[in-house]
Structures are given as C-alpha cells and as structure tokens.
A = this chain, B = another copy of it.
Amino acid sequence: MYLYFGDDSGDGPETLLRTTRCTVAAIGYAEIAEELREEIASGVYKPDETLPKQKELAAHYHVNVGTIRRAINSLAAEGLVDPTRRKGTVVRRQPRMKRLGVERYAKERWAPDAGGSPAATVGAAADREASGTEWDPTHQTQSVTLVQADRTVADAFDIDPGAPVYERARLVRNDERPTHTLTSYYLPSDVEGSLLVADTAGPAGERGGFGVLADRGLIPDHIAETIKARMPTPTEKKTLKLREGEPVMLLERRTYTSNDKLIEFARGVHAASLFAWTYQFKIPDKIERSG
C-alpha cells in the first residue's frame, strides 16, 4: 500500500512512502470511487462531460491504472458513468422518465369509435410509443408464433402447461432507442383468424390489440399488473442496449373481461431508467381484494 503525503493539485516534488500494515490512510479503489462519486454529485464533473483519462487519474492518485479502472468499473456498475473508447469516461445524463399511468389503457383509445372524437386518437398517438397496447411504426421487431404455454401462462389461462398459445412479441423503441419488450399471450380460440395473429407480422390494426379483442366481443374490462425489478440477463442487456448498471423492471399484465375471463397475458421488460409507474386507488375497506 502507498501512503501519500503532499499536495494533490500542485506539481511540485512529492513524497511517496511505501508501507505495510497501513491502517491509517489506505487509498484503495473504493476510496477513489467514493471521491469521484462525490465530485460527480457535487457537479465538478457534469453530465455528458468526461472524467480525466485513466492515466491522468492514476498519476493524480499515485496508483496504478488498474486501480483506477476498478474504481471506474464500480461507478459504471452503479450507472453513473459510461467508459467509452477514444472518448473517455463520460458522466451519464439521467434520461427523462416516462410516467406510465392507468390511463394509457383508456377505452377511448381502442373502443370501436365510440364518440368519433378525433382528439382521442391524437392523444393516443402522442403517448403511443410507451403504452404497450398500440402498434407503432417504430416497433421494429414484431413476431407472432404459436408456442407451448409455460407454467405461468398456463396457470393464468387455466390450461395445461404445454398447450398451444399465441405469442406476440414486440420490441418497442422510442426514437430509435429500444425502451422495452412486450410479449403477449392469447388463447388460440380467442384470436384465431384475427389481425393479431395475421401472417404478415405487422400492425394489429389502428386500435391495437385491445381493439382487435373488443371487435371479437372480448371487451377488456379490468387489469391486474405486477411489477418487479432485477438486473438484466445478458440477452436483455443486448436487445435493449442497456448500459452498465441499468436494471430492468418486469411487468406482468393480466387483462380480463367483465366476466373475469382472461383474454391477454403479457410480460414486459423495461429499461428501468426510462419508466416510472403510477397508480391511484381508493383505500379498500377490507383486506380481501375486490377484483
């Protein structure tokens, strides 16, 4: 370990003292990381700016470049910086979060032209890219296949595991940047022959999946959502182009008709830095849920 006495900013002669059993002022990668963290937080390094290059930091702290790299690595794992070749270690700018509220499912977005209000369509389009219920031109990947239901899907639909279900997978982008994936499952008997499972993997109609279901008499009435978070798998990291230290949020959505028939089961994987979920509800009287 190195004990360093001297002036950090100056360039005069410095005293370097090699010691062992040093418990007083050990400077390790964790301490360096902490110092950089504070400098980022306090605005010494601003978003989109770069930290000094690794060699310079090494010289400044009087440590090996490897030690600096470990420090920077942990900052990257926290999502604070993005080391970029040839450019430097850039301080990450926190993106604006999309607020996902219950209103994104509003009936006027997919109901068969209830009032014919053009404003509704406009509003829907504006919010479309993140709603997950409407098709959008920016959806690049969209595939529909008949698959065997896994345990969760089978449980949800109350069918046998392995029974065939339609899987409709989408990768949603916002301005070229992938934001989330959304995979919906449907009972074949519910959607066979509809736009939802058309050969040409494309739009599911202007009014989206809910619209198609509604046209077939399966009118979405209520939804149960569950939300979790974890670190992405390498696959998720690649398809969503996630940077280091960015978690994903997992959405599980069950959509029912008023008869409590499940008509869609959906799973979403969202880049956590881009989304905030909001819910508003009345406080229930009893503990048992009211459905």
Contact = CB atoms under 8 A, between A and B. Distances in A.
Copies of this protein in the complex: 2
Given A222-B280, A231-B77, A285 B108 contact: yes
Contacts of A232: 78
Nearest to A111: B285
A284 interface: yes
A283 B224 CA distance: 10
Q: Interface range on chain A: under 10, 10 to 19, 20 to 34, or 35 or more?
A: 35 or more
A225 B246 CA distance: 22
Contacts of A246: 231
Interface residue SS majority, chain A: mixed
Nearest to A255: B283
A102 B277 contact: no
Given A34-B234, A106-B284, 17 more contacts: A37-B234, A79-B230, A101-B289, A103-B287, A106-B285, A107-B285, A108-B286, A222-B282, A222-B283, A223-B280, A224-B279, A226-B277, A226-B278, A227-B276, A229-B272, A230-B272, A281-B281
Interface of A: 34, 37, 77-79, 97, 99, 101-103, 105-109, 120, 123-124, 127, 220-234, 245-247, 249, 272-273, 275-291
